[in-house]
Structure 1
Amino acid sequence: MVEHPNDWNERITIAEQMLPLISRLHRDHNVVTSIFGRLLINVTAIDILKSHRYARRVTDRQLPPEQTLAILEQLLEMNLGTGSVDLGSLATRFEQQGGDFADGAALREYLSGELAGIVGTASEMRHTDVVLYGFGRIGRLLARILIAREATYGGVRLRAIVVRSKGEGDIIKRASLLRRDSVHGPFDGTITVDEDANIIWANGTPIQVIYSDDPSTIDYTAYGIDEAIVVDNTGKWRDRDGLSLHLQSKGVSRAVLTAPGKGDVKNIVYGINQDDVTEEDRVLSAASCTTNGITPVLKVINDRYGVEHGHVETVHSFTNDQNLIDNFHKGPRRGRAAGLNMVLTETGAAKAVAKALPEFEGKLTGNAIRVPTPDVSMAVLNLTLNTEVEREEVNNFLRKVSLHSNLRQQIDYINSPDVVSTDFVGSTHAGVVDGLATIANGKHLVVYVWYDNEFGYSNQVIRIVEHVAGSRPRVLPRRLDPAAL
């Protein structure tokens, strides 16, 4: 259908009316709005219309902006507390019930029921200090996300980074690396440095730079930091004894590892087993990027069809662990030039799935091929199922899971003939199912899952941090369990 200029101008006018309402909800009530998962934060009128057009993936038609405008007007009249409110879902459900958006009283009654969890609640969130131990690829992305999350919800807040000093000008170089990134682009905001106080200021957030190479001897309380969650992204300590060194420092309540944990350390994949975390768990692992990318997809497939066994082949971007040119490396093959070769190596991700989903114990094997790209990887899930399946039925199920289930933040779905790895840089999902690549033949199923092994994984880490801090915002209206789809 060809879009008429008058229609476009009318929608732009409505979107412009929405902008101050979205801002007031955020500023006055700490309510963040979205349209089928697309956040309306720091957006333009064009961004709003693009989000309404995106709704076609869910409802098979463009979402009328006058419907969401009517909802926003009602939300501002309600006494709402902190939460994340999906305007697209609210509008669609109200219309499906035969609701009239012009009937303000009926719309208000409907919204009061759907948003009962945050009506009349306090707008303030509990603040929790976060310290990043290490400031490499993952550490700097965690910093970017934490700074943005503090501005969005005000729950977890980045207070400090701990690094080993590289000599004169160290803090200037680290600030520069936070400001510019060859893969993820420039920092969204302003960064300044106070060399005398060893503080990096990012969008008004003071980040204390602490120099140390011993996680057990830092007095965080001397910097006004207490009951902090330390996120260790060095990978140096991966068992309970090593990670517990962080707990010996003053002002630390928990330590979260951004790598697979060893021994009895719980490996948490947010969306799957975060409820296994108890008050007694003081050290945790956020597992690996690959484990996060594949576990949610494997869970929903196993719950629906049953998995007898399978093999996971990962096509993974190179990492700093590999050599830029041929040189000695303690690991097999990883000493060969990362930018010139496909490098066959091992991965523990397939076995690690069982740490989050015990029902997969002994069912999966896995290998990895490191390839000459800096970010975004792919996992090929080659599965033998308990039941026969058809390609379209599987794809339709995974698409519904990505749009309507409580795993919507973990699983995304795409059905485009031209997407390549760079299209997924910056994805906040744990994994993205490529529907056109799905193969089904009887009980044999092959599913291809893209994942941003840096940014998507970092978002999963932050979700764990927010969960253990008690700072995860409520997402409303409530989503379905995948089993109900």
Structure 2
Amino acid sequence: MRIAINGMGRIGRLLFRRLVMMPGVELVAVNDIMELHQLAYLLRYDSVYGPATFEIAVENNELIAAGQTIRFLHEPAPAKLPWKALQVDLVLECTGKFLTKALASQHLEAGAGNVILSTTGAEDIPLRIYGFNQHQLNGDKHLISPGGCMTNCSTHLIYLMQSIGIESVHINVLHSYTSRQELVDGPHKDLRRGRAAAESIIPVSVDLGQSLERLFVLLKGCIYTITTRVPVANGALANFVFQMKEAVTAAQVNELFKQAAKREYKDIIQYTEDPLVSLDIKGNSHSAIIDGSLTTVTGRTVNLMAFFDNEYGYTSRVIDWVRFVGAGKL
């Protein structure tokens, strides 16, 4: 399968590192507005995951990585990209800019066979969470959103808790700072995002609730979400407070997730009772690592905690989608 990546930010670069080592995949091109020598440097060295485990070189206008020759493009307009000439089967749209059907479809118009966003798109793009509703594809099946890291963590947990019975859920994701925050205090339309990310605990509003209501229509108006950015470069801990329809026990909740992690959600959910901290889940491929030692119940209120690597766990689900496309299931 011939793949191209549009946008070489955190997710694009981590996908690059993983895809060049993936059997059955040919990474034919990457596109970004940064200069090629800058991209090569950022692929070689990463402050979170360390140096690349393979050689990365630049020859002419191409990257040489893990024995593959990958064309570098420097085109801001997707409609002008040479996907038809390069016979690109799948574009991973990782800029975070082309989020509507009209904008993302430019890749299809340029000749790509399929497009997968690296985030939650607009409502006119199908929202499909791997392991939950990936088979519910309609006429727009060549353009999909796999959600974001927080959506992939939350969806499976809400679905499983629904099997017991939910009235409402409040979610606070303690999340590492991101590139959409400032390194030092500066102007920002979201005033809190403009504060120095590595110096404060910063509450930030997110669209997670709207995304989850698209997936769980019966819970519309019953989901509240916020993220609290903390001064670490990677990792997240999601705190779910479920109001249940009936009384449950912590043991009952933990057993639900313990069994799911062994069976239908293997490789997506992990269950542990080890005393983890966020650094322990760096490089973990699961979307949610349930810490059963932190599960508490008061009456009909359940407090559930789940770690996840917001970059590696999320790119693992994107790679699941790559395999899904490669198997001809779209």
Q: Does the Cα contact within 8 Å between 2:4 and 2:88 map onto a contact in 1?
A: no
Q: TM-score, normalised by structure 2?
A: 0.95
- What's 1:205 paired with? 68
Cα 1:356–1:227 change in 2 (3 A) is: farther
Count of aligned positions? 329
Q: How does 1:378-417 map to 2 (within 5 A)?
A: 378-403=237-262, 405-417=263-275
Cα distance, 1:453 vs. partner?
0.6
Q: Does the Cα contact within 8 Å between 1:410 and 1:430 map onto a contact in 2?
A: yes
Cα 1:157–1:354 change in 2 (3 A) is: farther
2:96 paired with 1:235: yes
Q: How does 1:55-204 map to 2 (within 5 A)?
A: 128-150=1-23, 154=24, 156-164=25-33, 166=34, 170-194=35-59, 196=60, 198-204=61-67
Q: Does the Cα contact within 8 Å between 1:332 and 1:345 map onto a contact in 2?
A: no
* Structure 1 residues without counterparts, runs of 5 or longer: 1-127, 473-485
2:216 paired with 1:357: yes
Percent identical among aligned pairs is: 29
Q: Does the Cα contact within 8 Å between 1:265 and 1:284 map onto a contact in 2?
A: yes
CA distance in structure 1 between the partners assigned to 2:106 and 2:144 by the alignment: 13
Q: Does the Cα contact within 8 Å between 1:145 and 1:459 map onto a contact in 2?
A: no
CA distance in structure 1 between the partners assigned to 2:22 and 2:97 by the alignment: 27
Cα distance per residue 1:205-256 (max 9 Å; x no partner): 222111101000122344xx2142111111111111111122221x311221
Aligned partner (choices 281, 293, 310) of residue 436 of structure 1: 293
Q: TM-score, normalised by structure 1?
A: 0.65
Counterpart residue type for residue 187 of structure 1: A
CA distance in structure 2 between the partners assigned to 1:193 and 1:399 by the alignment: 47
CA distance in structure 1 between the partners assigned to 2:204 and 2:123 by the alignment: 22
Cα 1:356–1:463 change in 2 (3 A) is: farther
Cα 1:455–1:321 change in 2 (3 A) is: same
Cα distance, 1:449 vs. partner?
0.8
Cα 1:359–1:185 change in 2 (3 A) is: farther
Cα 1:267–1:280 change in 2 (3 A) is: closer
Counterpart residue type for residue 29 of structure 2: A
CA distance in structure 2 between the partners assigned to 1:416 and 1:288 by the alignment: 26
Cα distance, 1:406 vs. partner?
2.0
Q: How does 1:11-22 map to 2 (within 5 A)?
A: none
CA distance in structure 2 between the partners assigned to 1:458 and 1:132 by the alignment: 13
CA distance in structure 1 between the partners assigned to 2:247 and 2:3 by the alignment: 47
Cα distance, 1:279 vs. partner?
5.8
Cα distance, 1:294 vs. partner?
1.2
CA distance in structure 2 between the partners assigned to 1:289 and 1:334 by the alignment: 19
Q: Does the Cα contact within 8 Å between 1:272 and 1:356 map onto a contact in 2?
A: no
Aligned partner (choices 158, 173, 183) of residue 314 of structure 1: 173
Alpha carbon RMSD of aligned pairs, Å? 1.6
Q: Does the Cα contact within 8 Å between 2:119 and 2:145 map onto a contact in 1?
A: yes
Which is greater in Rg?
Answer: 1
Q: Does the Cα contact within 8 Å between 1:415 and 1:434 map onto a contact in 2?
A: yes
Cα 1:252–1:389 change in 2 (3 A) is: same
Cα 1:220–1:453 change in 2 (3 A) is: same
2:127 paired with 1:267: yes
Counterpart residue type for residue 267 of structure 2: Q
CA distance in structure 1 between the partners assigned to 2:150 and 2:270 by the alignment: 15
2:314 paired with 1:457: yes
CA distance in structure 2 between the partners assigned to 1:387 and 1:292 by the alignment: 26
Cα distance, 1:471 vs. partner?
6.1
- What's 1:288 paired with? 148
- What's 1:300 paired with? 160
Q: Does the Cα contact within 8 Å between 1:351 and 1:362 map onto a contact in 2?
A: no
Cα 1:158–1:359 change in 2 (3 A) is: farther
